[in-house]
């Protein structure tokens, strides 16, 4: 029975992962020693499963059956620690955009049992990156979302992204209640560890200076059993942004290494193979790396939960070709490589091409798609890389399309504008006072029913917001002012706390949110290098639920599953979107950085002048004294001249005398 069970496991799923550990051991080891060594090794090496798939073709026959039996016992133990339902999905979503750009979104989703976060067990992490599990477990994080973005997503031209991100780095995390350490210190160590892991400057976020806890905007995205979904206090949430953060290959490399099918060198398997050529990925107008961890339900009844780690890379590449109105790209031109082999760890490897533009453009895509699905009125064609016919072949996608001249465009363009577009501007001139105006535009379709917007703004303390100047006006002809349904405001504190403003607005119209701010005069050593570059105001965040009849023109990631496969197939998407406005660059008044010593001297002189004069007056008395004869100026000059001549004479004599002495001494 036992043997049967072991064999069953062996044949089913363990062979892929465990066997390489076996073969790493030299033959000379005794059974017992090997067993211990093996246990140790497995515990130590359960990080990202690298170098595994390449070794899976080794033979097993050289080991005795007895040894095998022991190993299987260990294997079965480890296997029971992890879940049987671990899944790894690879997806690539491609959408040609009307501006001539193309949007590529690589999505790697790992679903594992939450048991790996329990402490005091030797874990088998399976497909899940061990480092992430360690960070999450030691800091009591219940879910986190981090994004590193370069460039700005242009909503009005490109529609909605799969998931939005502000320029720079953004991170938000919910912490588990009832842990020993307080949330602030856990957040601090969490961002430090994550920053180290991703080679990003997230360690600048640790203090309260750039961190806030929004009330309404960043609710947990974990889906928990109904019994435990009590309202969570926002004191367990931390949100922070670094708008100035620059994203580069040094962030991509460690991020990439967390994927199961990424090997050393450049022989990655599956869709991760597209990440081989990092410089190519940065030759884009928009580049966004992200990582989301949360809990999801295992089944529809939600009796138990699973851990879902979703890692996504979104790039927008200019794919216009030299011919007018003509676009052309291949995997090799975008990524510098093709999908050489499938990753056999993945249970799903799909490529979706969203043909929104098919009404105005004629497409020519090779190879032929496996099947197509319809989202709204737009077709999406799908390639399944796990299909039998693609086994052991290189997959490459070629796409070229051009604009059809015949179709009238004005009608089309109106329809393709997304439901909500947000723009933000800094107002005012000079470096003393200013303001921010945020325009939230709804399209005609959206204006038919009311929409509830949650507007969130986190402004660094060196911009002082005046809440009484906050105005929300409709962008219709009357410019009527409206009141927010809820307003949550935490005033900032100099050098301690950012300003945090959150509004819940119900509207049918496009609106304009404006308020005034004042620039703070900073100390000379509070400026970053290049102070005249300016200071960033992070993006405003607008979260909303689009009504269900109004998402024809964009893919919305459903909250049920981050995996696109389910979002595309399930009709009942919840319509949750989060938009990020532009981040603003504002100049602050600068002092003269070369002046510290001069200013200290001058300031002290002014005080000394006052003190000297007044001290004199309090200590001296008026008296009548003898008048000294006045010496005329010429006389004084003459005296001075005589004195100088005398001094010179004396000096010359002394020099002469010393010279003489020296000479005598020599003689």
Partner 1 sequence: MPDTFESTYVCIGLAVRVFLFFQTRIRNYFEESGEFVTPLNSWKRVIEGIYLRKRDISPFAGSIVHETPLSLFFYSKLYAITHGHVEGLFIAADLLTGILTYRIAKRVLKQLFNEEATEKSKYNQESQPLWLKKLNIQKSAYAVLLCCMINPLSIGTCLAKSSLVFHNLLLTITFYFFMTYQLLPFIVTLCLASSISVYPVVLIAPALLQFSKSGANNRSILRIFLVIILFAIVSAGILALNFFLNHKSWSFIESTYSFIFHVPDYTPNIGIFWYFFTEMFDHFRSLFVWTFQMHVLLLYLLPFTIRLRHDPIFLFWLLCAIFCTFKSYPAYGDAAFYFNYLPIWSFLFRYVRHSLIIICMVFVALIMAPITWYLWIYTGSANANFYFAMTMVFNVAQTFLVSDLFYAYLKRKFLLKNGLTIPQVNGFEGQLEFN
CA 168 to each of CA 37, 160, 198, 541, 591: distance values in angstroms, whole numbers, following the listed order: 45, 19, 13, 14, 27
Our CB check for partner 1 shows the closer of 166 and 492 to be 492
Q: How far is the CB of 539 from partner 1 (least distance, A)?
A: 22
Q: How far is the CB of 457 from partner 1 (least distance, A)?
A: 15
> d(Cα 118, Cα 123) in Å, to the nearest integer?
9
Q: How far is the CB of 184 from partner 1 (least distance, A)?
A: 17
Our CB check for partner 1 shows the closer of 177 and 589 to be 589
Q: How far is the CB of 90 from partner 1 (least distance, A)?
A: 48
DSSP for 302-337 reads --SEEEEEEEEEEEEEE-B-SSTTEEEEEHHHHHSS
Our CB check for partner 1 shows the closer of 71 and 465 to be 465
Q: How far is the CB of 528 from partner 1 (least distance, A)?
A: 16
Our CB check for partner 1 shows the closer of 334 and 459 to be 459
> d(Cα 396, Cα 274) in Å, to the nearest integer?
10
Q: Do residues 488 and 216 make contact, with C-beta atoms less than 8 angstroms apart?
A: yes
CA atoms within 13 A on the CB side of 478: 5
Q: How many of the other CB atoms lie within 10 Å of CB of 301?
A: 9
Our CB check for partner 1 shows the closer of 23 and 466 to be 466
Our CB check for partner 1 shows the closer of 371 and 624 to be 624
> d(Cα 147, Cα 286) in Å, to the nearest integer?
13
Q: How far is the CB of 430 from partner 1 (least distance, A)?
A: 4
CA 51 to each of CA 18, 24, 55, 197, 391: distance values in angstroms, whole numbers, following the listed order: 12, 12, 7, 20, 20
CA torsion sign for 258, 262, 266, 271 is: negative
Q: How far is the CB of 425 from partner 1 (least distance, A)?
A: 19
Our CB check for partner 1 shows the closer of 336 and 484 to be 484
Q: How far is the CB of 164 from partner 1 (least distance, A)?
A: 30
> d(Cα 505, Cα 26) in Å, to the nearest integer?
68
Which pair of tokens denotes residue 148?
A: 């590193």
Q: What residues contact 603, with CB distance under 8 A and at least 6 apart?
A: none
Q: How far is the CB of 469 from partner 1 (least distance, A)?
A: 9
DSSP summary character for residue 627: P
Which residues of the chain form contacts with partner 1 (CB under 8 A)? 429-433, 461, 464, 466-468, 487, 489-495, 497, 499, 520-525, 589-592, 595-596, 599-600, 602-603, 606-607, 609-611, 613-615, 617-628
Our CB check for partner 1 shows the closer of 17 and 499 to be 499
Which pair of tokens denotes residue 403?
A: 């604009």
> d(Cα 135, Cα 160) in Å, to the nearest integer?
32
> Roughly what angle, to the nearest 10 degrees, separates helices 65-81 and 31-45?
30
Name the residue among 465, 485, 149 with its Cα closest to residue 284.
149
Our CB check for partner 1 shows the closer of 248 and 426 to be 426
Q: How far is the CB of 494 from partner 1 (least distance, A)?
A: 4
Our CB check for partner 1 shows the closer of 41 and 433 to be 433
Which pair of tokens denotes residue 165?
A: 């991100």
């Amino acid at each position: 029975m036992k043997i049967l069970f072991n064999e069953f496991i062996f044949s089913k799923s363990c062979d892929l992962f465990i066997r390489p550990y076996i073969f790493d051991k030299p033959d000379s080891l005794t059974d017992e020693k090997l067993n211990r060594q093996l246990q140790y090794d497995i515990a130590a090496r359960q990080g990202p499963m690298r170098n595994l798939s390449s070794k899976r073709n080794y033979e097993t026959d050289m080991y005795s059956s007895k040894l095998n039996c022991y190993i299987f016992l260990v294997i079965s133990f480890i296997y029971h620690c992890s879940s049987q339902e671990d899944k790894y999905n690879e997806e690539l979503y491609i959408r040609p955009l009307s501006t001539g750009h193309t949007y590529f979104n690589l999505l790697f989703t790992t679903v594992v049992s939450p048991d790996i976060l329990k402490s005091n067990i030797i874990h088998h992490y399976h497909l899940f990156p061990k480092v992430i599990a360690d960070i999450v477990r030691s800091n009591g994080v219940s879910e986190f979302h981090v994004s590193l973005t370069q460039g700005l997503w242009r909503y009005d031209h490109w529609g909605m992204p799969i998931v939005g991100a502000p320029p720079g780095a953004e991170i938000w995390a919910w912490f588990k209640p009832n842990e020993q350490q307080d949330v602030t210190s856990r957040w601090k160590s969490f961002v430090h560890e994550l920053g180290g892991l991703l080679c990003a400057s997230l360690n600048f976020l640790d203090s309260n200076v750039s961190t806030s806890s929004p009330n309404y905007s960043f609710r947990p995205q974990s889906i928990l059993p109904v019994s435990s979904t009590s309202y969570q206090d926002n004191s367990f949430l931390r949100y922070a942004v670094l708008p100035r953060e620059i994203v580069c290959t040094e962030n991509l490399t460690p991020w990439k290494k967390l994927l199961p099918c990424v090997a050393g060198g450049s022989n990655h398997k599956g869709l991760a193979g597209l990440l081989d050529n990092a410089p190519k990925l940065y030759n884009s107008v928009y580049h966004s790396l992200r990582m989301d961890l949360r809990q999801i339900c295992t089944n529809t009844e939600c009796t138990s939960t699973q851990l879902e780690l979703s890692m996504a890379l979104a790039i927008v590449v200019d794919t216009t070709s030299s011919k007018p109105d003509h676009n052309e790209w291949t995997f090799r031109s975008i990524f510098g490589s093709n999908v050489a082999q499938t990753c056999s760890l993945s249970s799903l490897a799909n490529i979706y091409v969203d043909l929104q533009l098919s009404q105005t453009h004629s497409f020519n895509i090779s190879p032929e798609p496996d099947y197509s699905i319809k989202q709204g009125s737009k077709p999406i064609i799908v390639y399944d890389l796990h299909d039998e016919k693609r086994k052991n072949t290189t997959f490459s996608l070629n796409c070229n399309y051009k604009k059809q001249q015949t179709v009238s465009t004005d009608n089309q363009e109106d329809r393709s504008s997304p439901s909500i577009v947000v723009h933000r501007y800094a107002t005012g001139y000079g470096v003393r006072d200013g303001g921010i105006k945020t325009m939230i535009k709804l399209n005609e379709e959206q204006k038919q029913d009311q929409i509830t917007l949650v507007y969130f703004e986190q402004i660094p303390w060196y911009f002082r917001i005046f809440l009484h100047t906050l105005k929300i006006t409709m962008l219709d002809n009357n410019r009527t002012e409206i009141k927010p349904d809820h307003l949550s405001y935490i005033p900032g504190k100099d050098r301690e706390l950012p300003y945090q403003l959150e509004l819940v607005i119900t509207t049918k119209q496009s609106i304009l949110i404006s308020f005034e701010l004042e620039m703070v005069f900073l100390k000379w050593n509070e400026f970053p290098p290049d102070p005249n570059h300016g200071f960033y105001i992070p993006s405003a965040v607008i979260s909303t639920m689009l009504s269900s009849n109004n998402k024809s023109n964009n893919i919305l990631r459903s909250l049920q599953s981050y995996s696109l496969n389910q979002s595309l197939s399930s009709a009942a998407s919840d319509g949750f979107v989060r938009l990020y406005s532009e981040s603003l660059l504002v100049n602050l008044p600068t002092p003269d950085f070369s002046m510290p010593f001069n200013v200290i001297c001058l300031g002290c002189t002014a005080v000394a002048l006052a003190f000297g004069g007044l001290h004199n007056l309090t200590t001296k008395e008026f008296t009548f004294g003898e008048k000294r004869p006045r010496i005329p100026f010429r006389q004084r000059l003459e005296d001075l001249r005589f004195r100088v001549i005398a001094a010179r004479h004396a000096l010359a004599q002394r020099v002469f005398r010393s010279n003489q002495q020296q000479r005598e001494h020599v003689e």
